[in-house]
A and B are shown apart, each in its own frame.
Chain A
Amino acid sequence: MRKFWIVTWCCVAGLLAVGSPHMTAAQGLEDHQYSSADIEAGSRLFANQCSLCHGPNGDLIAGIDLRHGVFRRSSSDDDIRRVITTGVAGAGMPAFGLQPAEVSTLIAFIRASFDLSSTVVKLGNPERGRALFEGKAGCASCHRVNGVGQRTAPDLSDIGAIRSPAAIQRSLVDPSSAMIPINRPVRLVTRDGKTYKGRRLNEDTFTVQIIDDQERLISLSKADLKEFELGKTSPMPAAASLSDEEQSDLIGYLLTLKGKL
């Protein structure tokens, strides 16, 4: 038991040493510790050893989403290492006879959210970043964080847990090219003349679900629509008006949003 706590503390201390002095221990900068070479090597090992059960996106086993840091029984890097090297007999996970350095590359890949382009992204001051989010950068006019802000754009309360720093930076710099397809803006006109504008939430062959510009959840049958316009351009403005330092402050803040609620 005592040994376990020492290991954890060392882990946290390690994070503190590497991270920005303004970040607290809870806000892991795990991907900062790993080089792109580590992440790349980990991606290859993952494809060879892990993806057939865990899936290429790490989410084929119920309750586990490796890309987004959702584990059944791990939280620290050492927990992950232990699961890989000793397996979990009852759950069907075999023990893998890998070298410690190889396991490190797997951890790098997992912590980088499988993002091969996850190189070192500069993380600024989260306090300044929050001020920008709620003020000058205007994010709260569309986005919501921990209950504050609009619901028309995706809720960002857990964005730091589900996106890598590189992915967040991409969304700031070129929102349209970074837009996940499901989030595309829609304009729907029903046969009886009602128009709905909003963000797509879900779709299938016969129906589409959106949250509209008045934050209402709407489900419509495609048979009832005379127009169904799916936008390719994100309504989000690029962060070009922000300086590099302001961008890195904003990214630093967004990474603290781990959705603990």
Chain B
Amino acid sequence: MLAACPNAHAQVTSDQILRASSAPRNWLTYNGNYNSQRYSTLNQITAANVSRLESKWVLQDQVLGAWQSNPLVVDGVMYVTERPNDLMAVDAKTGRVFWIYRWTPSPDARVCCGANNRGVAILGDTLYMGTLDAHLIAIDARSGHALWNIALADVKQAYSITMAPLVVKDKVIVGLGGGEFGIRGFIAGYDAKTGKEQWRFNAIPEPGEPGHETWAGDDWKHGGGSVWVTGSYDPALNLTYWGIGNPGPDWNPDQRPGDNLYSDSVVALDADTGKLAWHFQFTPHDGYDYDSVQVPVLADIPWKGVPTKVMMWANRNGFFYVLDRVTGKFLFGTPFVKVNWASGLDENGRPIQTPQATGMPTWPGNQGGTNWYPPAFSPRTGLFYFSAWENYASIYRREKAVYQAGQNYTGGGGPVLAPTPNAPTIGIGRRGPIDNWTDEVGNGAVMAMDPQTGKLRWKFTQFDVSDSGILTTASDLVFTGGREGYFYALDAKTGKMLWKASLGGQIVMAPITFQVDGEQYVSVISGHTLVTFGLRK
């Protein structure tokens, strides 16, 4: 029935989101569905016909700066945000725009790393967008007008939201950012109809809350712990999982003795109450800004012969982990890039830290062995795919930081290691068409990790680094890109490149796939263009 009316929207129910994997024509959440595998069962595009992909339409973003948005697609309508807080409803078959909603964030908004917005959530006919000035806005999906608009935190304290919210049942879950400005991060669940706060989990526990003992004195008040990437949900366990960012001040751990929970941790929260079920901290007492703000990827795999509910995590700190997602127990961990800030992990997964002497380089560098961009997992190949930065180091420097509301509270810094003094190095984004830092500062690699062995099945190396997330499909394809603007289809089993397109701009989000009128499409954002590919007839 819906196929006959391509633009008729069904209301998106929470039940539909639960069963999102069985309706792959849609892309209903940031990561596609609650297990965040970014694996689609759409198989019309295959290794045999992928060379017939052609651009079907292009949407250009009218704003300067990296476009990190992850679109949603619901029954042939794509919802995509652009900087700083615009939201468009776009016909997914032709790329023509139905409406655009714009919110201008307060001039007091402070962000460390770009006026990014990574997308929206949907429930019923309502879209939910977080803003740079820490508002949550509910927008009607058909009219493009706001229904309500609530400040979740004080923008003058440099709280911000860059992540796409997550709808679970009747609540919208949002994490707050601002870890470089001495905030105290939190995750909260808001009533989807009214925006009223239903529960809150403090990423930095206050006196009386468990974990507070890992802070001394008043350090917790500006402990950081921002949450800026969308988490996952296990409906059977009713647990929602979130990665938490660096402690504050970022680079001066001497100012905050203790493990600094729950910075650089994954937390499992009861989806109804926000109560902490378990946590696992990847980097205690972090001095390297190794935000554990990665997407928790959930899968049911055999572990030493026993079917196990796991969580897979390639962490910014350079280690790959497999955790039991029921209990948080550490099952396995291994480095996936050169690591010298720790000599290894103990039997509980706790790193044995080996800080380098002042002025000496630390591997991986500040942006990590991997970062925020989404990984993927294929239940067919059993492989976990993610973008890594190899051979990249920073020379960290510690300084005393003094807190001032709304100001940077980072406590140091330090350059990226370069082969020659004053040579260009790698920053948060790519600055232009000439790669004058070269692979001598660091290079990108798409890694296919076998979680059962901790070994890479294959690796696809790129000259420049990549901030591109990954999409994988039931045709055993892996779609991804990189900073050079190439968009690839790789063989999911072998990593062999099957097809590429030169799109010319840095790809800083994962691609998505969807179906309209029986045709499968793959969309990716490169630079300032959103390109949607489909098969040439």
- Which residues of A are interface residues toward B (Cβ below 8 A)? 44, 47-49, 51-52, 55-57, 59-60, 62, 89, 92, 113-115, 117, 163-164, 167, 170, 177-182, 201-206
Expressed in whole angstroms, the minimum distance between the Cβ of A204 and any Cβ of chain B is: 4
A52 CA / B111 CA spacing, docked (Å) = 9
What are 18 pairs between A and B in contact, CB < 8 Å?
A47-B413, A48-B410, A48-B412, A55-B427, A115-B421, A115-B422, A117-B421, A163-B422, A179-B420, A181-B420, A181-B423, A202-B436, A203-B439, A204-B462, A204-B486, A205-B463, A205-B482, A206-B486
Are A55 and B399 in contact, with the CB atoms below 8 A?
no
Chain B hits for A181, CB < 8 A: 419-420, 423, 436-438, 440-441
By a CB distance below 8 angstroms, the chain B residues around A62 are 64
Q: Is the CB of B420 within 8 A of A56?
A: no
Query: B491 in the interface, Cβ–Cβ < 8 Å?
Result: no
Contacts of A92 in B (CB 8 A): 107
Find the B residue at minimum CB distance from A45: B399
Residues of A within 8 A of B410 (CB): 47-48, 52
B415 at the interface (CB under 8 A from A): yes
Contact between B434 and A201, CB atoms less than 8 A apart:
yes
B480 to chain A, nearest CB (A): 12
- Complex CA gap A59/B441 in Å reads 17
CA distance A179 to B436 in the complex (A): 12
The answer to whether residues A52 and B113 also contact, given A182-B438, A203-B438 and a CB cut-off of 8 A, is yes
**Residue B401 contacts which of A48, A113, A177, A180 (CB distance < 8 angstroms)?**
A48
Q: Is B54 an interface residue (CB 8 A)?
A: no
Confirm or deny: B425 has a beta carbon within 8 angstroms of a beta carbon on chain A. Answer: yes
Answer whether residue B429 sits at the interface, using C-beta atoms and an 8 A cutoff.
yes
Q: Taking beta carbons and an 8 Å cutoff, which residues of B are in contact with A? A: 64, 107, 112-113, 180, 397, 399, 401, 407-408, 410-416, 419-425, 427-429, 431, 433-441, 461-464, 482, 484, 486, 500
Residue contact A178 to B420, C-beta cutoff 8 Å: yes
The CA-CA distance from A117 to B420 in the complex, in Å, is 13
> Which chain A residues lie closer than 8 Å to B422 at the CB level?
113-115, 163-164, 167
Q: Are B399 and A48 in contact (CB under 8 A)?
A: yes
Q: With A and B bound together, what is the CA distance between A57 and B419 in angstroms? A: 15
Residues of A within 8 A of B413 (CB): 47-48, 51, 56
- Does A60 contact B427, Cβ atoms closer than 8 Å? yes
> Do B484 and A204 have beta carbons less than 8 Å apart?
yes
Q: Using Cβ atoms and an 8 Å threshold, which residues of chain A touch B429?
A: 60
A115 to B420, CA, bound (A): 12
Residues of A within 8 A of B421 (CB): 115, 117, 167, 170, 178
Which A residues lie within 8 Å of B433 (CB)? Answer: 202
Known: A47-B410, A203-B439. 9 other contacts (CB 8 A): A48-B410, A48-B412, A51-B413, A59-B431, A180-B420, A180-B423, A182-B424, A202-B433, A205-B486
Q: Is the CB of B428 within 8 A of A60?
A: yes
The answer for the CA separation of A182 and B424 in the assembled complex, in Å, is 9
Nearest 7 A/B pairs, CB to CB: A47-B413, A182-B436, A181-B438, A204-B484, A181-B440, A205-B463, A205-B462
Chain A residues positioned under 8 Å from B435 (CB to CB): 182, 202-204
Cα A90 to Cα B504 in complex, Å, equals 30
Measured between alpha carbons, how far is A179 from B429 in the docked complex, in Å? Answer: 24
Docked complex Cα distance between A258 and B436 (Å): 21
Chain A residues, Cβ within 8 Å of B482? 205
Do B427 and A56 have beta carbons less than 8 Å apart?
A: yes
Residues of B within 8 A of A114 (CB): 422
CB within 8 Å for A56 and B416 given contacts A203-B463, A204-B463: yes
Interface centre among A44, A51, A170, A179 (most CB of B within 10 A): A51
Per the bound structure, the CA–CA distance linking A89 and B107 in Å amounts to: 9
Rounded to whole Å, the gap between the CB of A43 and the closest CB of chain B is 9
Please give the distance in Å from A195's CB to the nearest CB on chain B: 22
Interface centre among A51, A52, A56, A205 (most CB of B within 10 A): A205
Q: How far is the CA of A62 from the CA of B401 in the complex (A)?
A: 28
Contact B486 A56 (CB under 8 A): no
A163–B484 alpha-carbon span in the complex (Å) = 27
